[in-house]
Amino acid sequence: MRIVISGTAGSGKTTVAKEVAKGLNYKHYSIGDFFGKLAIKRGIDVIKLNRLAEDDASIDREVDDMQKALNREDNFVIDSRLGAFFIPDSTKVFLDADLKTRAKRIIGDQREDEQNKSLKGAIRNMKKREESENKRYKERYGYACYDKAKFDLVIDTTNLDVEEVVGRILAFIKKR
């Protein structure tokens, strides 16, 4: 089984995906982590890398190729905004939360850069990032990554803890 966990920044994709993978004893992949490592390798932050990727398709291709290769595997969980597009034969889960909750989570995330250390900054950067991703993905793939109708399960994580979200996903998978 392949499980794609997608959603908005700060909705809990990576944390939840890791726990779902652990609960199922599956491998976990994170495109966000991969993209972050690519930004570090280039000496820039993720927002700048997203902006560069608007004009440099090779950045997305590098990430896309990694996802496409996963179609040869089974029994994994991936957190990825384009996972539902590149791994169509999967159970697709979308996580979302209200803007303030997501911003607060990003502020508390040690992986994030200095631009996300205030509520205003985190909200501004989330909006920029989402606009950039939406623009790129629509232009390159004709795919709206935030369209919840493309997913098998949608969960609002605003008032849920990680265990509750993971429990809902595992229960949904068990029913399938």
Q: Which band of pLDDT confidence, cut at 50, 70 and 90, is reported for residue 26?
A: very high
Q: Which band of pLDDT confidence, cut at 50, 70 and 90, is reported for residue 23?
A: very high
How many Cα atoms sit within 13 Å of 171 on the Cβ side?
7
| Residue listed under structure tokens 């597009």 | 85
Q: Where are the domains of the chain?
A: 2-162
Backbone φ, ψ for residue 30 (5° rounding): -130, 115
Please, what is the Cα angle at 111 between 87 and 104, to 5 degrees?
95
Q: Look at residue 139 and tell me whether its pLDDT is greater than 80.
A: yes
Determine the pLDDT at residue 112. 47
**3-state DSSP helix/strand/coil % of the chain, to nearest 5:** 60, 15, 25
For the stretch 158-176, pLDDT in tens is 999 999 999 999 999 999 8
Q: What is the pTM of this model?
A: 0.86
In 3D space, the residue among 104, 78, 81 whose CA is nearest the CA of residue 91 turns out to be: 78
Q: Look at residue 94 and tell me whether its pLDDT is greater than 90.
A: yes
CATH fold group of domain 2-162: Rossmann fold (3.40.50)
Please name the amino acid found at residue 90: S
Q: How would you label 139-157 residue by residue, b for 16+ Cβ within 10 Å and e otherwise?
A: eeeebebeeeebbebebeb
Q: Look at residue 47 and tell me whether its pLDDT is greater than 90.
A: no
CB 29, CB 5: distance < 8 Å: no
